[in-house]
Structure 1
Amino acid sequence: MGQAAVAERLRASGVRISPSGVRYIWQRHGLETAVKRLQALADDGADALTPDQQRLLERGQLSARLAQVKVAGDATPGKTSATGAEGEGLSRHELILHVAAERFAAHGYDRTSIRDIARSVGLLPGSVYHHFPAKEDLYLAIHREGFRRVLERVKAAAAEGSDPWDSLRRACQVHVAGMVEGSPVDRITGHSLAMIGDHTLYDKIIDARRAYEQVFRDLVAALPLAPGVDRALLRLTLLGAMNWVSVWFNEGKRSPQEIADVMVEMLKKGVAG
């Protein structure tokens, strides 16, 4: 129940309190969101929640977990930000994108259904179809959003470089970090940079991919290189190496930033003794 409904229920039972008074009490006890109140009820006993309340709690917990990996400032334009007025986490649109990206990354496009995604989000399949008419639309929306986010971050990072090599290094840091540490949307977009099995789907994201690769084309074009170096092959070699990091990355050894630094340093200085 919301604060107004609680105040009305209390007034009907003889307790005079305003909605803002209810919220003040909730805040004092760490119960200011519906998810926190449901968790408190759940802690009182396994059978304290109805099935609908349990689904709402699970959705809120998932939303909070996804919000932790959501990069600040990358909310979808026109959508609710990661933390709303009641602190309930991601908007339904964003939540569907994140959960779908997780399932596509874990199980593949063909082995993931809208029903699977809806179950993970805590919605009925019809609610997912309300936002995305088909699975293909959802898959493409994930990639477009992912490309938009990484394009903004890479451009901003490169602009802070002190010279062409430093700009490339900073851009590569963002790219590799997104591949292994980013949100599910970031990770699946990065994976598609390396490979995608469905060429029909690939053709529909090619413009977004080309816009992103143009950033690296410009960065490589600005490098002071030896005469005769094939800049296109150099760019493709670097992108291919970075895209493969997600396959062999082992947390606890080199950080994504360190990996990017070493890759660029090897390109710059070479590896011959």
Structure 2
Amino acid sequence: MNQAENQPVLATEQVNAVEAEILRLARELPELGQAAVATRLQRAGLQISASGVRYIWQKYGLETAVKRLQALAAENAGCLESLTLNQRRYLERGLLSTRLAQGELAEDEPANLPESELEPLDRQRIILNAAAELFSTQGFDRTTIRDIASQAGLLPGSVYHYFSSKEELYMAVHQEGFRSVMLQMRLATHEVSDPWERLKRAFTVHINGMVGGSAIDRLTGHSLALTGHPRLLDMIRADRDAYEDVIKALIAQLPLKPAVNRTLLRLQLLGAMNWVYVWYHEGKLSPEQISEQMIDMLRLGVEGQAQA
């Protein structure tokens, strides 16, 4: 019996789960190498080797960090602003190195950026994602810097090099999350003229972030409904207020009856949308369907014609 025959065969469901997690990490943490991804999955009880991770990456054309970054940008209509500054620099230099190797550079283009000199991808992003995952699952109070460092595969001192305290890290996660969701809203609404459609698309982004986005998106979305922890609320109040200003501007454009209180309308909509993460079940209504139906019920009413 050869070595392959001695290896246990994963059930189809487990293979699918492993593949799904590899693709999720490729989207959320494109900077992680195959060994780091394999280690994370093994900690979560999913058995996969580094070479197995690479096999899945190759299956989807994601075997290099540059390709994973390109795919991440493509998910946001090719907008590089969806990447961090360090990720954009890495992507630009990686593409330049590829063109250099293939002899595609014009004579007047710089050609002094060998791949060995590429900057490492953003370590802060790894820390932010690790913190977001733990804040979401364990809560702020039960999560320590040591926990975050372990989740990120770093020493605690490496975390303190970037963030002086857990509170600063918590705020940084939310700043990144709100930056991301507001960017996605601009991308989703910038070519739409109908104000109701703009609002639907904005809230689709809002709901998708809470139930299907990255760990940072989910934590940010859940924190929009945060009411019972005054200290945490104070830490992110400025970011929440800036986000609500975006929603306020969208509601200001709606053609409403003069008597409608737009502030109450905004609070009613935000309250309904923020509560989705409590009852949402994947496989039923999509974020787009939830947003559309909620806003249509509000706009068009729900009262039906009485039966005779």
Amino acid of the structure 1 residue aligned with 2:292:
D
Post-superposition Cα deviations, 1:26-85, rounded to whole Å, max 9, x if no partner, equal xxxxxxx9945x59xx9xxxxxxxxxxx9xx9xxx9xx8x988896542233x2359764
Do 1:146 and 1:185's aligned partners in 2 also have CA atoms closer than 8 Å?
A: yes
Partner of 1:122: 153
Partner of 1:188: 219
C-alpha separation between the residues in 2 aligned to 1:88 and 1:260? 41
SS at match of 1:194: coil
2:251 alignment partner, one of 180, 199, 220: 220
Matching of residue 112 in structure 1 with residue 119 in structure 2: no
Partner of 1:16: none
C-alpha separation between the residues in 2 aligned to 1:195 and 1:69? 29
RMSD: 3.1
CA gap of 1:201–1:263, structure 2 versus 1, over 3 A, is: same
Matching of residue 80 in structure 1 with residue 87 in structure 2: yes
Residue identity over aligned pairs, in percent, reads 50
Amino acid of the structure 1 residue aligned with 2:148:
I
Partner of 2:62: none
Do 2:149 and 2:159's aligned partners in 1 also have CA atoms closer than 8 Å?
A: yes
Can you give the 5+ residue segments of structure 1 that lack an aligned partner in the other structure?
1-32, 43-53
Partner of 2:164: 133
C-alpha separation between the residues in 2 aligned to 1:181 and 1:218? 25
Can you give the 5+ residue segments of structure 2 that lack an aligned partner in the other structure?
1-30, 40-49, 58-64, 95-114
Partner of 1:231: 262
Runs of 4+ in 1 over 4 A off after TM superposition: 33-36, 66-72, 81-90
SS at match of 2:188: helix
Q: How far apart are residue 270 of structure 1 and its match?
A: 0.8
1:144 alignment partner, one of 175, 179, 202: 175
1:158 alignment partner, one of 182, 189, 198: 189
Q: How far apart are residue 207 of structure 1 and its match?
A: 1.9
Instruction: Compute the TM-score of the two structures, normalised by the length of structure 1.
Output: 0.71
SS at match of 2:246: helix
C-alpha separation between the residues in 2 aligned to 1:130 and 1:108? 23
1:207 alignment partner, one of 234, 238, 248: 238
Do 1:169 and 1:264's aligned partners in 2 also have CA atoms closer than 8 Å?
A: yes
C-alpha separation between the residues in 2 aligned to 1:83 and 1:218? 35
Partner of 1:12: none
Of structures 1 and 2, the one with the larger relative CO (CA 8 A, separation 6+) is: 1
Do 2:211 and 2:277's aligned partners in 1 also have CA atoms closer than 8 Å?
A: yes
Partner of 1:92: 123
Do 2:207 and 2:276's aligned partners in 1 also have CA atoms closer than 8 Å?
A: yes
Do 2:221 and 2:274's aligned partners in 1 also have CA atoms closer than 8 Å?
A: yes
Aligned residues: 218
Partner of 2:229: 198
Do 2:226 and 2:233's aligned partners in 1 also have CA atoms closer than 8 Å?
A: no
Do 1:81 and 1:90's aligned partners in 2 also have CA atoms closer than 8 Å?
A: no
SS at match of 2:209: helix
C-alpha separation between the residues in 2 aligned to 1:35 and 1:188? 24
Amino acid of the structure 2 residue aligned with 1:260:
S
Do 1:82 and 1:91's aligned partners in 2 also have CA atoms closer than 8 Å?
A: no
Amino acid of the structure 2 residue aligned with 1:150:
V
Instruction: Compute the TM-score of the two structures, normalised by the length of structure 2.
Output: 0.63
Matching of residue 251 in structure 1 with residue 282 in structure 2: yes
